[in-house]
Amino acid sequence: MKPEETIPEFDGTRETSEAAELVTFSPPPVAGLDRKLLDAFPGLVVRKDLTKGLKQNAVVPTYVLEYLLGQHCATDDPVAMKAGLESVQRILAKHYVHRNQAELVKSTIKERGSHKVIDKLTVELNDKGGFYEAEFTNLGLKKVPVADGTVKKYTLSKRSLMSKAFLDIPKR
């Protein structure tokens, strides 16, 4: 099968490189059930071959890639898919926190006042203070105050205080 499109692959660094390996894909013909799924669930259908292609060099959890691909690449149009893949790679390069780059991201937060990050986030209630605190796994930040409204808006269930992957970190 001959690739129809190629785009630079995210290589885990903050800067893009023209020397980066290429993700190649050939949009499969969409017919029958696949067509119905794309029409019925826009933004929710994820091509696993794209996830696998991006996952090769990226140290990013699969569920993060699938979420972003669902948002930006849930289409059968090759041009839109190429643009979506480039968008996903840009988002990962700019916002995904690698443990070895945590200090760089912390510095960015300090300089800008806030910065959106993609990181594993755990929120717990501080019983003594009566407020919520977040822990960012890759950033290594603990006890970051979180507004009650944010917790209510993004809580997944009553039993869990796991929040969404995106959060604007305010300057302390």
Q: pLDDT tens digit string along 20-59?
A: 344 555 555 566 787 788 788 877 778 888 888 887 766 7
- Residues 154, 89, single domain; the answer is no
Domain interval for residue 76: 5-95
Q: Are 96 and 64 in contact (CB under 8 A)?
A: yes
Quick one: pLDDT at residue 111?
A: 94
Residue with tokens 């785009």: 7
- Residues 60, 133, single domain; the answer is no
Quick one: pLDDT at residue 135?
A: 93
Answer whether 0.85 is exceeded by the pTM.
no
Which candidate, 138, 142, 141, 160, places its Cα nearest to that of 151?
160
- Residues 70, 149, single domain; the answer is no
- Structural domains of the chain, count: 2
- Residues 90, 141, single domain; the answer is no
- Residues 88, 109, single domain; the answer is no
